[in-house]
């Protein structure tokens, strides 16, 4: 009897809900494997940020659409949850989250990610039913009220729970509501209690009326206020509602006798009532008729995860969250797609794999199955009929897969199947009639496996078979004709006998899809034209395996292949191609349906796609795609080829492996709500940064702050972010950038984090934005300022300090230097004063000495005159020379004393004075030697001249020697006079035009004669060579003739002196670029060392590098010559190499003299 009652109730239920057509729910399951602390779900709520909070037996969970953050009790942390068993959740008008637990109330602090605790009854017992919070509500004044299981009502005031009233006499409180007028409705164990805090009136409702009788109301579990009625669900399986005005009541009888508990009740804005029970989830319309019923089925992967539904919650996106004993079930706000399968609430299909589709004249869907069945379904009437094969029974359906369904204009339904002949359904007899065709020239002569059919204007049926080719069939006469592929004429016959689809266009042309290309057939001429893929032609078909073909209302031919979509340009006879890169969900195009001109829906190998087409004259087509998949409430994403049909009422239907997809295109709506975007976590060196740690960067949750400051060594930073959108969050997209580092946006979908390494010191702004599942962007997004602090040595204060130290140091150095300078200046002033006094004294002394030297010079001039007359009176000259010798010796002593005194006086010029003393000493020694030698010769040969026995030749020879030595002595005295004049600045020149040739030739002649004299050229083998260009032979320069001869004579004399053999070359040349004439004397003598080259032009310098040879000289010749050249406006230089010889150069200004 019980079974009969249940059956009758279920039949009644089916009858009730068949009239409604809501969408079938596909549930998304969220369980422990998704991060939940426990699968026993008691309550769900959404906070102001969009996060969904889930209360379980083992803690609280915050769900962002991807993963869960867990919050649990920690006995060492007083700011953690007070208990892990979560009973209820509530968000108040101030956007605060309240958590009712088994042991008290908690308030979530979003900034610190912790909880404040409120305990109704202070007790030492950790678990106390007196503190079990069963309800949390806020009245219209914003006051928060809490009920506990032992029957007490509390008000939260001044951060503590204060008892308002004790209702324990009515039993344990399970739930309560506060209506718009401020009246409390309290569900207790012994019924419903109405409490008016204004009047303090309490009304106990202990029973309700059902079928005219009073029924006790007990074991109240849940309440819901719909504004007019208070709904009560009980632990005894009753669903009762009371009119709030007159308290009239009624009982809702759900069609399931096994329901023992009504756990939650909710009514949405549309008036749909949701009832959660331990026997499943019910939905009822405004007339309280059951329209949907969901319960757990092991074989339904998209069904509800458990039949015991504990809670119901509707979020701000109109998604529904159903908490069960086996996880949370999310029923997303569907876009308008209706899925039909063998689990459907409304029309439960007998088949699942819908491989072919048709709509008959009565509006019935004919569904052909892969498993040899046909379902005929009327969605409006919720009626269905099943045709199955009956082997051995005449007129039954064939035994193979139903691949083709087609209704002709005579309302005949034709059936093509895999391994059976063509069949026609006779509605009068309910039988299927078979038609057999034989096409001998085809590869499958018996014409089985009809894949597609169309009807022409004359009523002929055109069929494409898989193996037989194209068949023309007249159903009235029974005549037929076959058209097959001819390998000898492939372009003018069918592309392949194995066709997949046939259509007719607006121009009496048939288009046939085959695995080897696309064929166009002209009905008038019965001729073919084929289109193939050609790798050398980019405008040919994208692929030869054509799976579908379609002609839209504008006459465009769309060709689907196994690799891409093709749009034919019929004027140019070419194709435009579209692939996944252009936005397609898959390159496999299975079927087409047109919504309206320019909009086409396509079934593909990976979801549904809506194509929008625009084209202007002379331009390429602009095609966009909007794709849909399981996240958009599709039960399957694999669509069968050609299994698509458009219903006369505007519905579109597509066949899939899991059943039938039906939708009305104009009712498909996108999610218009941009998601909220948050930065959820900060990591340093891949480790999460905790709030409030001693070295933490965060004083609040990362989503609550605007700026973080990093040290320079905190150089690996990771930021995680999320977009809160619970409708297909896997389709969310993100874009982020770091201003001042890169202004380019980086887009991503799966990876919701970014890591930056080695950011230079500076200020950056991280920005992230996101779109929802339908591409609606929140461009404002979330942002975070990141300040990377420089190391201490790069900070402004360190630089200021460093600059200050440098300035102070520099100033100190400057002051110290000034002090030292002033000190030295004082010392130098004092020293200069002393030295000045000494120098003045020395100057006076030197002037006196100079007068003496001048007097001596005068005496020497007299002596030179007297020596000039020495040839006449030799005896007088000898006496005078002796007197001069004595005077010179005295002069030497005077000079030595003068040098010693100057050396003692000039301490600062000590080294130079000592050097001068040495040179002068050397000079006096050399000079004494040089004077002594000719004097001795004069004395000796003068004495010999007095011998009576000398012949005339000897006398002439001795006279010559006396004359030569007299000249030598004269030259020495002249050198002394010249050097004295130079030191006194009294050297005067007589500048006049001088012919170069006259001077040089005169000197050459003189020295050649001297070389022939035995006393001069003794032991030497030296030749004189003259090298003067013709252009200068008669050139005239302006110079002192005597002094120029003196310079050249000195240079030639020195060259002969230091050259034992070889040549001495005298020459000159014009250096036009310098405006001078350069003279030179070049010898092949002993040469001069490099270190002595700079010394030889000094006074009193006599350089003798070879100690084994003695060379006469006083060291004044080169000094005098160099000074004379300078006085004439030139310079003197020397080049020399030891053992090779020397070259002395001097220049004189070229005054432009001409020949």
* Phi, psi at 626, each rounded to 5°: -125, 115
Whole-number Å distance between alpha carbons of 423 and 714: 77
C-alpha triplet 56, 59, 65: angle, nearest 5° = 75
Q: Is the pLDDT of residue 720 over 70?
A: yes
Question: Does residue 885 register a pLDDT over 80?
Answer: no
Instruction: Determine the pLDDT at residue 1080.
Output: 94
Taking the domains of the chain in order of start, what are their residue ranges? 30-336, 337-436, 440-667, 676-794, 925-984, 988-1149
CB atoms within 10 A of CB 251: 15
Residue-level pLDDT at 419: 82
What would the DSSP string read from start to end of 937-1000? Answer: HHHHHHHHHT-TT--HHHHHHHHHHHHHHHHHHHHHHHHHHHHHHHHHT-----EEEEEHHHHH
Question: φ and ψ at 1024, to 5 degrees?
Answer: -95, 135
Structure tokens at 613: 């087409």
Phi, psi angles (nearest 5°) of residue 862: -60, -40
Range of weakest confidence among 258-272, 439-453, 736-750, 990-1004: 439-453
Q: Check residue 875 and give its pLDDT.
A: 64
Whether the pLDDT of residue 1079 is over 70: the answer is yes
Whole-number pLDDT of residue 97: 97
Contacts of 1077 (CB under 8 A, 6+ apart): 996, 1032, 1035, 1037, 1068, 1069, 1070, 1071, 1147, 1148, 1149, 1150
Residue carrying the six token digits 């006096």 = 924
DSSP notation for 335-367: -S-EEESTT-SSS--S-S-EEEEEE-TTS-EEE
pLDDT digits (tens, 9 = 90+) for 186-211: 999 999 999 999 999 999 999 988 77
- Would you say residue 989 has pLDDT above 90? no
27-63 per-residue burial string, b: 16 or more CB within 10 A, e: under 16: bbbbbeeebbbbbbbbbbbbbeebbbbbbbbbbbbbb
d(CA 274, CA 278): 13
Give the pLDDT band of residue 1110 (cuts 50, 70, 90). very low
User: How confident is residue 17, by pLDDT bands cut at 50, 70 and 90?
Assistant: very low
What does the pLDDT read at residue 496?
Answer: 93
**pLDDT given for residue 925 in this prediction:** 53
Highest mean pLDDT range out of 141-155, 685-699, 988-1002? Answer: 141-155
> Confidence band (pLDDT; 50, 70, 90) for 85?
very high
Under DSSP, the state recorded for 24 is: P
Please tell me which residue, 627 or 910, carries the higher pLDDT value: 627
Query: Phi/psi at 1035 (nearest 5 deg)?
Result: -70, 150
Helix or strand holding residue 413 (H, E): strand 413-417
Confidence at residue 10, expressed as pLDDT on a 0 to 100 scale? 35
Nearest to 1007, CA basis, from 1055, 975, 1069, 960: 1055
Strands 1061-1071 and 1021-1027: parallel
The pLDDT confidence band at residue 752, using thresholds 50, 70 and 90, is very high
Q: H or E element: which one contains 282?
A: strand 280-284
Question: Tokens 């915050």 belong to which residue?
Answer: 62
pLDDT confidence bin for 962, thresholds 50/70/90: confident
pLDDT at 1116 over 90: no
Instruction: Record the tokens describing residue 320, joined without a space.
Output: 């529904």
Best-predicted range by mean pLDDT among 751-765, 792-806, 926-940? 751-765
pLDDT at residue 882, as a whole number: 67
Counting beta carbons within 10 angstroms of the beta carbon of residue 368, is it exposed (0 to 12), middle (13 to 18) or buried (19 or more)?
A: buried
Give the separation between CA 175 and CA 197, rounded to whole angstroms: 17
Please list, in sequence order, all residues whose beta carbon lies within 8 angstroms of the beta carbon of residue 273, skipping any fewer than 6 positions away.
231, 265, 266, 267, 282, 283, 284, 285, 288
955 pLDDT tier (thresholds 50, 70, 90): confident
Average pLDDT over residues 211-237: 87
Contact 893, 876 (CB under 8 A): no
- Between the alpha carbon of residue 484 and those of residues 422, 497, 643, the distances in Å are 18, 6, 25
Which run of H or E residues covers position 1136? Answer: strand 1132-1137
Q: Any idea which fold 30-336 has?
A: Methylamine Dehydrogenase; Chain H (2.130.10)
At 923 the pLDDT is 58
| 676-794 CATH fold | Immunoglobulin-like (2.60.40)
pLDDT at position 738, please? 95
Cα 306 from Cα 296, distance rounded (Å): 5
**Other C-beta atoms lying within 10 Å of the C-beta of residue 666:** 10
Instruction: For residues 477 and 800, give the distance between their C-alpha atoms in angstroms, rounded to a whole number.
Output: 107
Residue 158, number of CB atoms within 10 A of its CB: 5
* Residue 36 pLDDT exceeds 90: yes
Domains 30-336 and 440-667 equal at CATH topology level: yes
DSSP 748-810: ESS--EEEEESPPSEEEEEEEEEE-TTS-EEEEEEEEEEEEPPPGGGSHHHHHHHHHHHHHHH
Mean pLDDT of the residues in the chain? 85
Class of the domain covering 337-436: mainly beta
Confidence of residue 500 (pLDDT cuts 50, 70, 90): very high
For the chain, state the CA radius of gyration.
63
Range name among 161-175, 576-590, 610-624, 979-993 with the lowest pLDDT average? 979-993
* Separation in Å, CA 716 to CA 670, 691, 794, 869, 1004: 40, 18, 20, 110, 94
Q: Say if residue 1020's pLDDT is above 80.
A: no
* Span 256-270, average pLDDT: 88
Contact between residue 193 and residue 186 where contact means Cβ atoms under 8 Å apart: yes
pLDDT digits (tens, 9 = 90+) for 1025-1073: 888 888 888 888 899 888 888 888 889 988 888 888 889 999 999 988 8
| CA-to-CA dists, residue 316 to 47, 49, 67, angstroms | 10, 11, 19
| pLDDT tens digits along 342-392 | 777 667 888 888 999 999 999 999 999 888 899 999 988 888 899 999 988
* Cα angle for residues 587, 593, 594 (degrees, 5° grid): 115
Contacts of 1012 (CB under 8 A, 6+ apart): none
Whether residue 302 is predicted with pLDDT greater than 90 in this model: the reply is no
Q: What is the mean pLDDT of residues 797-811?
A: 87
Instruction: Decide which of 2.130.10.10, 3.30.70.1520, 3.40.50.1820, 3.90.1150.10 is the CATH code for 440-667.
Output: 2.130.10.10
Architecture of domain 988-1149: 2-Layer Sandwich (3.30)
Q: How far apart are the first and last CA of the chain?
A: 159
CB 233 within 8 A of CB 219: no
pLDDT bucket at 9, cuts 50 / 70 / 90: very low
Backbone angles phi, psi at 199, to 5 degrees: -95, -10
Q: 706 with 785: CB under 8 angstroms?
A: yes
| Residues forming beta bridges with residue 1024, ordered by sequence position | 1064
Mean pLDDT value across residues 818-822: 84
1003 and 1048 in contact (C-beta within 8 Å)? yes
In which element (H, E) is residue 453 found?
strand 450-455
Share of the chain above pLDDT 90, in %: 47
Whether residue 945 is predicted with pLDDT greater than 80 in this model: the reply is: no
User: Tell me, what's the pLDDT at 880?
Assistant: 67
Q: Is the pLDDT of residue 877 over 70?
A: no
Question: Quick check: helix, strand or coil at residue 241?
Answer: strand
> What's the pLDDT at 1155?
44
Of the pLDDT bands very low, low, confident and very high (cuts 50, 70, 90), residue 911 is low
707-710/777-788 β-pairing = parallel
Residue 544 near residue 550 (C-beta atoms within 8 A): no
Assess contact for 374 and 350: CB atoms under 8 A: no
Extract the runs of DSSP E, i.e. beta strands, from 66-219: 68-71, 86-91, 97-101, 104-109, 114-118, 133-138, 144-148, 152-157, 160-166, 173-178, 184-188, 191-196, 201-205, 207-210, 213-216
d(CA 443, CA 420): 16
Domain 925-984 belongs to what architecture? Answer: Orthogonal Bundle (1.10)
Among the residue ranges 678-692, 770-784, 896-910, 1127-1141, the one predicted with the least confidence is 896-910
749: closest CA among 788, 726, 723, 727?
A: 723
Q: What is the pLDDT of residue 926?
A: 55
Backbone angles phi, psi at 276, to 5 degrees: -100, 125
């Amino acid at each position: 009897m019980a079974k009969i009652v249940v059956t009758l109730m279920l039949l009644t239920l089916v009858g009730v809900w068949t009239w409604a057509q809501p969408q079938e729910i596909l549930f998304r399951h969220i369980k422990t494997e998704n991060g939940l602390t426990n699968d026993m779900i008691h309550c769900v709520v959404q906070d102001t940020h969009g996060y969904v909070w889930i209360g379980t037996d083992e803690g609280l969970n915050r769900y962002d659409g991807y993963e869960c953050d867990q919050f649990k009790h920690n006995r060492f942390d007083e700011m953690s949850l007070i208990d892990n068993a979560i009973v209820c959740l509530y968000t108040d008008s101030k956007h605060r989250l309240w958590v009712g637990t088994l042991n008290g109330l908690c308030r979530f602090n979003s900034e610190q990610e912790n909880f404040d605790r409120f305990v109704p009854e202070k007790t030492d017992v950790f678990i106390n039913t007196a503190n079990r919070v069963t309800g949390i509500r806020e009245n219209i004044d914003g006051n928060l009220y809490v009920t506990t299981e032992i029957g007490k009502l509390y008000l939260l005031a001044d951060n503590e729970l204060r008892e308002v009233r004790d209702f324990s006499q009515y039993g344990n409180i399970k739930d309560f509501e506060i209506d718009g007028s401020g009246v409390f409705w309290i569900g207790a164990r012994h019924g419903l209690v109405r409490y008016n805090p204004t009047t303090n009136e309490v009304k106990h409702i202990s029973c309700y009326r059902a079928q005219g009788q009073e029924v006790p109301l007990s074991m109240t579990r849940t309440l819901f206020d719909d504004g007019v009625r208070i709904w009560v669900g009980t632990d005894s399986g009753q669903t009762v509602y009371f009119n709030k005005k007159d308290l009239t009541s009624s009982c809702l009888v759900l069609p399931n006798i096994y329901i023992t508990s009504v756990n939650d009740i909710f009514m949405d804005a549309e008036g749909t009532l949701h009832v959660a029970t331990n026997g499943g989830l019910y939905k009822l319309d405004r007339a309280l008729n059951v329209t949907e019923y969901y319960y757990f089925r092991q074989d339904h992967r998209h069904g509800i995860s458990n039949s015991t539904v504990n809670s119901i919650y509707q979020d701000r996106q109109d998604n529904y969250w159903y908490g069960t004993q086996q996880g949370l079930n999310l029923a997303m706000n569907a876009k308008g797609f209706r899925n039909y399968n063998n689990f459907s609430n409304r029309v439960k299909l007998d088949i699942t794999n819908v491989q072919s589709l048709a709509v008959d004249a009565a509006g019935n869907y004919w569904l052909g199955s892969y498993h040899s069945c046909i379902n005929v379904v009327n969605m409006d009437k919720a009626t269905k009929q099943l045709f199955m094969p009956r082997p051995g029974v005449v007129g039954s359906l064939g035994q193979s897969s139903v691949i083709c369904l087609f209704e002709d204009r005579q309302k005949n339904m034709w059936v093509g199947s895999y391994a059976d002949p063509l069949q026609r359904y006779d509605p009068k007899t309910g039988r299927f009639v078979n038609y057999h065709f034989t096409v001998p020239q085809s590869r499958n002569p018996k014409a089985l496996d009809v894949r597609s059919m169309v009807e022409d204007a004359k009523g002929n049926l055109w069929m494409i078979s898989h193996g037989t080719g194209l068949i023309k069939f007249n159903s009235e006469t029974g005549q037929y004709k076959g058209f097959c592929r001819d390998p000898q004429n492939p372009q003018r016959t069918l592309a392949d006998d194995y066709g997949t689809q046939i259509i007719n266009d607006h121009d009496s042309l048939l288009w046939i899809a085959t695995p080897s290309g696309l064929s166009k057939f002209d009905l008038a001429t019965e001729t073919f034209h084929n289109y193939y893929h050609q790798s050398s032609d980019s405008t040919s078909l994208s692929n030869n395996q054509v799976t579908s073909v379609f002609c839209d209302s504008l006459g465009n031919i769309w060709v689907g292949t196994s690799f891409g979509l093709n749009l034919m340009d019929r004027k140019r006879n070419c194709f435009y191609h579209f692939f996944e890169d252009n936005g397609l969900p898959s390159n496999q195009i299975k079927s087409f349906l047109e919504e309206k001109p320019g909009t086409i829906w396509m079934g593909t190998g990976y979801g549904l796609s809506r194509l929008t087409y625009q084209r202007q004259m002379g331009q390429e087509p602009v095609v966009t795609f909007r794709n849909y998949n399981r996240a958009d409430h599709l039960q399957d994403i694999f669509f069968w080829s050609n299994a698509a049909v458009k219903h006369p009422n505007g519905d579109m239907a597509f066949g899939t492996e899991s059943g039938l997809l039906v939708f009305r295109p104009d009712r498909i709506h996108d999610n218009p709500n941009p998601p909220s975007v948050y930065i959820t976590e900060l990591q340093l060196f891949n480790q999460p940064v905790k709030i409030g740690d001693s070295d933490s960067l965060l004083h609040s949750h990362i989503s609550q702050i605007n700026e973080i400051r990093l040290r320079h060594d905190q150089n690996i930073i990771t930021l995680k972010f999320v977009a809160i959108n619970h409708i297909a969050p896997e389709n969310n997209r993100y874009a982020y950038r770091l201003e001042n580092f890169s202004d380019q946006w980086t887009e991503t979908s799966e990876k919701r984090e970014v890591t930056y390494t080695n950011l230079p010191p500076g200020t950056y702004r991280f920005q992230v934005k996101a779109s929802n599942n339908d591409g609606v962007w929140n461009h404002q997004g979330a942002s975070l300022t990141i300040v990377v602090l420089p190391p201490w040595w790069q900070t402004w204060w360190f630089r200021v300090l460093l600059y200050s130290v440098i300035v102070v140091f520099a100033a100190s150095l400057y002051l110290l230097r000034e002090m030292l300078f002033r000190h030295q200046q004082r010392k130098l002033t004092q020293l200069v004063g002393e030295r000045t006094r000494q120098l003045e004294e020395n100057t006076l002394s030197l002037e006196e000495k100079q007068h003496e030297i001048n007097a001596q010079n005068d005496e020497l001039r007299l002596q030179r005159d007297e020596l000039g007359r020495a040839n006449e009176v030799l005896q007088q000259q000898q006496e005078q020379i002796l007197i001069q010798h004595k005077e010179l010796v005295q002069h030497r002593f005077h000079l030595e004393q003068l040098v010693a005194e100057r050396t003692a006086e000039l301490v600062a010029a000590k080294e130079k004075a000592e050097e001068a003393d040495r040179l002068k000493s050397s000079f006096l020694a050399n000079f004494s030697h040089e004077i002594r030698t000719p004097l001795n010769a004069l004395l000796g040969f003068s004495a010999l001249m007095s011998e009576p026995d000398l012949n005339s030749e000897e006398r002439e020879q001795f006279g010559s020697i006396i004359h030569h030595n007299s000249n030598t002595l004269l030259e020495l005295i002249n050198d002394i006079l010249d050097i004295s004049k130079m030191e006194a600045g009294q050297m005067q020149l007589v500048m006049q035009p001088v012919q170069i040739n006259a001077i040089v030739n005169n000197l050459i002649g003189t020295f050649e004669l001297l070389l022939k004299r035995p006393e001069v050229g003794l032991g030497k083998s030296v030749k004189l060579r003259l090298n003067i260009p013709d252009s200068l032979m008669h050139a005239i320069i302006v110079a002192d003739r005597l002094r120029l001869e003196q310079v050249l004579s000195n240079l030639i004399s020195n060259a002969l002196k230091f050259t034992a053999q070889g040549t001495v070359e005298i020459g000159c040349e014009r250096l036009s670029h310098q405006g001078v004439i350069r003279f030179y004397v070049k010898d092949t003598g002993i040469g001069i060392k490099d270190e002595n080259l700079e010394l030889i032009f000094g006074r009193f310098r006599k350089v003798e590098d070879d100690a084994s040879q003695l060379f006469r000289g006083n060291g004044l010749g080169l000094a005098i010559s160099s000074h004379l050249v300078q006085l004439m406006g030139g310079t003197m230089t020397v080049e020399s190499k030891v053992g090779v010889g020397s070259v002395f150069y001097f220049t004189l200004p070229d005054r432009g003299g001409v020949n």
